[in-house]
A = this chain, B = another copy of it.
Amino acid sequence: MTITGKQLIAGNWTDGRADSFYGVNPATGENLEPAITAADEFQVIEAVNAASACATEFANLAPAKRAKFLNACADEIMALGDELLERVSAETGYPLARAQGERGRTCGQLRLFADWIVQGEYLDARIDTAMPDREPLPRPDLRSFNQALGPVAVFGASNFPLAFSVAGGDTAAAFAAGCPVIVKGHNSHPGTSELVAQAIDKAVKSTGMPAGVFSLIMGSGRRVGAELVQAPGVKAVGFTGSLQGGMALFNLANARPEPIPVFAEMGSINPVVLLPEALKQKAETIAEGFVGSLTLGTGQFCVNPGLVLAVEGEELDRFISATSDALAKVGCGVMLNENTLKGYQSGVARLRDQEGVEQVAAGEAAGSEKGFTCQAGLLTVDAKNFLANKELQEEVFGPMSLVVKCRDHAELLQAVSALQGQLTGTLQCTESELANYDDLVEVLRQKVGRVVCNNFPTGVEVCHSMMHGGPFPAATDARFTSVGTMSIARFVRPICFQNYPEALLPDALKNSNPLNIARLVNGEKTSDAI
């Protein structure tokens, strides 16, 4: 395939009508050919209108047809071959193996969702049959199921050019739900975005989907991104990125004449709590795992462990010392783009300026060569200063973590209680400590979407039970995940049919159960026909 620098609007590849820009190789700082033409507002509206025009047709397709489309998307992404992996690597600085792993994850989630929607559980079909003789009033026949919400705007994330981008989790979930998608591609990987859009475009055509089901818009976030969220045809927004970016979209969406839900996963600092007995038994092993998690992907994960909390003392010193030794061997990593690097550098500088913060360890210094290289590190602060200073809870995106030293368990509990909402909370502990510290565990549980025990938070499995989200500010709505099959629920709404003729009901609700799905019939779950 050739990267053309064009926009994909409902099946048509056209030049963007605004300015143009280039992808940049973060390892060299050099532009990558070709120039990408940026879309203007009218092209956004064109894409939204095409999505709206086919929304009902796409929503009403049998799940099996949409499943075929999802699988075709995965096939076409695989068919892009090494060209895709090489472009990912060139645009992100990630090694080829990471690109390959992320491609596997992306295709895996498309295929998982394909299997899942055919099973029909996500439809939540419910039937309460008529009771014409009930006193004092008869009960009419009532049947409900989840129908697609309508066109969804998806904002690609910089750090997962495949898995949280053009054909990433939000897009897969929206397609699975039956919603057309308009992606605002991230400017940090425009070539990758276009290649994946080419794959989806082929899948749309080969499986006979309506053309408006997918568009890729590239351009300025402030211009085309804002336009997209405000377009009346858009019915929900999926976003992964910064708190600032997510809240800007959230506020725009709520100020619309018709407010719409924004599912913004805005990252967090993912506290790791080290309990004393675990530290005593294996401070060095924990340190090794911790440094691996902290520096994976140059720390550019929303579940990166940016905060460690523990009671001070000899055991914590052993952890810090082992972490420092391991960090010293960490080479300087390449960050995704210049803005990410600048954000990291200024974030680290800001943290270091705070009362009581000391840097106790660092990775290899960033070289003087071209490219957006950064230095990993570890900071410490005592709990008193941590509790007095909310700025210490602000995410610094990259391989830097802050150890909060608490005087005793009471202060540790106080520090955990002071945390904002988080994607994850990790406990390094023995089983008996976990039982004994139930007060702390309960507090942590109220703060997070996922509790990790003697693992590290990086590595977000795509499966049925994954919760990737959490209380604000980790996400705008703690009730939804952006990873795993539960994420489809973001993009559907229940609709109820009362006293509706059997023959004209949607298949999910017909007596004969032609989709062969489990349904709640008069309060009992069954796959039987009625």
Contacts and interface: CB of A to CB of B under 8 A. Distances in A.
Interface of A: 55-56, 101, 115-116, 121, 124, 126-128, 136-137, 139-140, 142-144, 147, 149-150, 250-251, 254, 258-259, 261, 421, 431, 434-435, 442, 445-446, 448-455, 459, 461, 463-467, 471-473, 476-479, 481, 486, 489, 492-501, 503-504, 518, 520, 522-523, 525
Contact of A466 (B144, B466, B500): B144
A499 B450 CA distance: 11
Given A442-B56, A446-B56, A504-B434, A466 B142 contact: yes
A interface secondary structure, majority? mixed
Contact of A254 (B101, B254, B479, B520): B254
A41 to B, nearest CB: 24
Contact of A500 (B136, B144, B451, B481): B451
A518 B497 CA distance: 27
Contact of A496 (B116, B450, B498, B499): B450
Contact of A142 (B142, B150, B463, B499): B463
A259 B476 CA distance: 7
A344 to B, nearest CB: 26
Contact of A465 (B121, B454, B496, B501): B496
**Can you list the 9 inter-chain pairs with the closest CB atoms, starting with the nearest?**
A467-B496, A126-B465, A144-B465, A450-B496, A479-B493, A128-B463, A452-B498, A142-B465, A478-B493
Nearest to A518: B525
A251 to B, nearest CB: 8
Given A504-B434, A504-B435, A461 B495 contact: no
Number of copies: 2
A126 B464 contact: yes
Contact of A449 (B495, B500, B522): B495
A454 B466 CA distance: 43
Contact of A498 (B56, B446, B451, B520): B451
Contacts of A128: 461, 463-466
A479 B495 contact: no
Contacts of A127: 465
Residue of A55, A142, A258, A486 contacting most chain B CB atoms (<10 Å) = A142
A461 B144 CA distance: 13
Contacts of A478: 149, 493
A170 B434 CA distance: 35
A71 to B, nearest CB: 17
A261 B480 CA distance: 12
A472 B449 CA distance: 28
B496 A101 contact: no
A259 B472 contact: yes
Nearest to A143: B465
A140 B289 CA distance: 15
A150 B56 CA distance: 37
A477 B261 contact: yes
A140 B455 CA distance: 9
A209 B414 CA distance: 27
A32 to B, nearest CB: 28
6 contacts: A126-B464, A144-B465, A149-B478, A449-B496, A453-B497, A486-B494
Given A149-B478, A261-B479, A431-B504, A449 B498 contact: no
Contacts of A258: 421, 471-473
A404 to B, nearest CB: 22
A504 B451 CA distance: 12
A455 B498 contact: yes
A354 to B, nearest CB: 21
Given A431-B501, A449-B496, A451-B500, 8 more contacts: A121-B525, A126-B465, A140-B461, A142-B466, A258-B473, A479-B489, A479-B492, A481-B494
A433 to B, nearest CB: 10
A431 B451 CA distance: 53
A512 to B, nearest CB: 17
A284 to B, nearest CB: 20
